[in-house]
Amino acid sequence: MSLEVARSLDYTPEVALLTAPIRDRVRSVIPEVEWAVHAPYVAAIQELKRRRNAVVLAHNYQTPEIFHGVADFTGDSLALAQQGARVEADVIVLAGVHFMAETAKILSPEKTVLIPDLRAGCSLAASITAADIRLLRERYPGVPVVTYVNTSAEVKAESDICCTSANAVAVVESLGVDRVIFLPDEYLGQYVASQTKVEVILWKGHCEVHERFTGQELRAYRAGQPDLLILAHPECPQDVLAEADFVGSTAAMIRRVGETRPRRVVMVTECSMSDNVAVEFPDVEFVRPCNLCPHMKQITLPRILHALETMQHEVVVDPAVALRARGAVERMLAVGRREGK
Ligand code: 13P
Ligand code: SF4
């Protein structure tokens, strides 16, 4: 059912008043002239969310007008999966990439899950198929398969357990084995191997955003600014992680800034995240190397509005695949619950 918003998308005094609290919050990262373009969409999306009983779940890499303007929940992949399982709404709009929307659908099959643009994929998810996993199982019989959530539902369905960057080490250790197959992120797998005594069989998948960072680049930042705190995502290559003061998921990096309140910080990850976090910490200087994820950037306010108006694009997962994938995701969530996370 299509629900066109009756209002125009002009920056009227009414829209300015309605959206003023958000404008004040994001003033440091969104100039006034840009806000005038975003605000009518923000107001229209807020209204349609109410009429549809919908929520917007937004990943930390979404742009600030989405992250601060229309999201009901924000977070890393783990937090979005947890919210996908417990959210009370008829409709979930996933402002993130396709595998995140699929995970929400797998955990909440009774809900309508929308992704505003079907092109929002992921280079890691594209690097492996379910058939690849079946071949690996033939080659390494009995070795458990741990799969990063950045994969399709079909790949999750072939896996023993999922993980995110926030819990990969805990998930691998929870299995109590001396060898695992870890898919598909080679660098995250190497990081897990460095933090555990478990032998990790790797796959050569990479995140096209994080693989671009280099250790040399970070050494150059540090040389110019010795008080710089370097936080890096474990999807980065090993020589990058070797230069970092802290390695963690996007949410863990944000927590680290809050706990340590550095004078200067560089978040070695997708570039919108620094904008989102800078809003919370005006006293911290963010050094911002700008590696954008082209998939995350397919999600825009006009496309979120269009999704809510037309109820497109609905994410559908074959129920038999979803049931098996759900087992792998729920086993991951249970590890977190055992650890109180
Ligand atoms: P997290 O937010 O779970 O750390 O994942 C980063 C990422 O690249 C998601 O696509
Ligand atoms: Fe995939 Fe990397 Fe983009 Fe995340 S940042 S969606 S891992 S390509």
- pLDDT tens digit sequence for 77-125: 989 988 988 989 999 999 999 999 999 999 999 999 999 999 999 999 9
Q: Which long-range contacts (CB under 8 A, 24 or more apart) does 27-36 make?
A: 28/278, 28/279, 28/282, 29/64, 29/275, 29/276, 29/278, 29/279, 30/64, 30/65, 34/65, 35/65, 36/11
The residue ranges of the chain whose pLDDT is under 50 are none
Give the Cα separation of 102 and 105 in Å (integer): 5
Does ligand 2 have an atom closer than 6 angstroms to the CB of 295? yes
Strands of the sheet with 285-287, listed across from one edge: 246-247, 228-232, 264-268, 285-287
Helices (H), 70-152: 77-86, 98-107, 130-139
Q: How many whole angstroms from 31 Cα to the centroid of ligand 1?
A: 27
Q: How many whole angstroms from 209 Cα to the centroid of ligand 2?
A: 6
Helices (H), the chain: 13-26, 32-52, 64-67, 77-86, 98-107, 130-139, 153-157, 168-174, 186-195, 215-224, 238-241, 250-260, 272-280, 301-310, 319-338
The token pair that represents 186 in the structure block: 């080679």
Q: CB within 8 A of 139, min separation 6: which ones?
A: none
| Ligand closest in space to the Cα of 297 | 2
Q: CB within 8 A of 92, min separation 6: which ones?
A: 54, 55, 57, 84, 101, 104, 108, 111, 112, 113, 114
Domain 3-121+296-310 identical in fold to domain 210-287: yes
Query: Using omega within 30 degrees of 0 as the cis cutoff, is the peptide bond preceding 313 cis?
Result: yes
Q: What is the pLDDT of residue 85?
A: 83
Reduce the DSSP state of residue 307 to 3 states and report it.
helix
Q: What is the pLDDT of residue 2?
A: 59
Top CATH class, 3-121+296-310? alpha beta
Ligand 2 atom 3, closest CA: 293
Give the alpha-carbon dihedral of 20, 26, 27, 29, to 10 degrees: -150
The domain at 210-287 falls in which architecture? 3-Layer(aba) Sandwich (3.40)
Query: What ranges do the domains of the chain cover?
Result: 3-121+296-310, 125-207+318-338, 210-287
Task: Looking at the CA of residue 250, tell me the nearest atom of ligand 1.
Answer: 4
Task: Looking at the CA of residue 207, tell me the nearest atom of ligand 1.
Answer: 8
Does ligand 1 have an atom closer than 6 angstroms to the CB of 243? no
Residue whose CB lies within 8 A of the most ligand 2 atoms, among 78, 100, 124, for a mutation test: 124
Q: What is the pLDDT of residue 339?
A: 63
Give the Cα separation of 61 and 44 in Å (integer): 22
| Ligand closest in space to the Cα of 298 | 2
The token pair that represents 84 in the structure block: 């996908």
Q: What is the pLDDT of residue 337?
A: 76
Ligand 1 atom 2, closest CA: 76
| pLDDT, tens only, 36-54 | 999 999 999 999 999 999 9
Q: How many whole angstroms from 39 Cα to the centroid of ligand 2?
A: 27
Q: How many whole angstroms from 251 Cα to the centroid of ligand 1?
A: 9
Homologous superfamily (CATH) for 125-207+318-338? NadA-like (3.40.50.10800)
Q: How many whole angstroms from 5 Cα to the centroid of ligand 1?
A: 33
Does ligand 1 have an atom closer than 6 angstroms to the CB of 165? yes
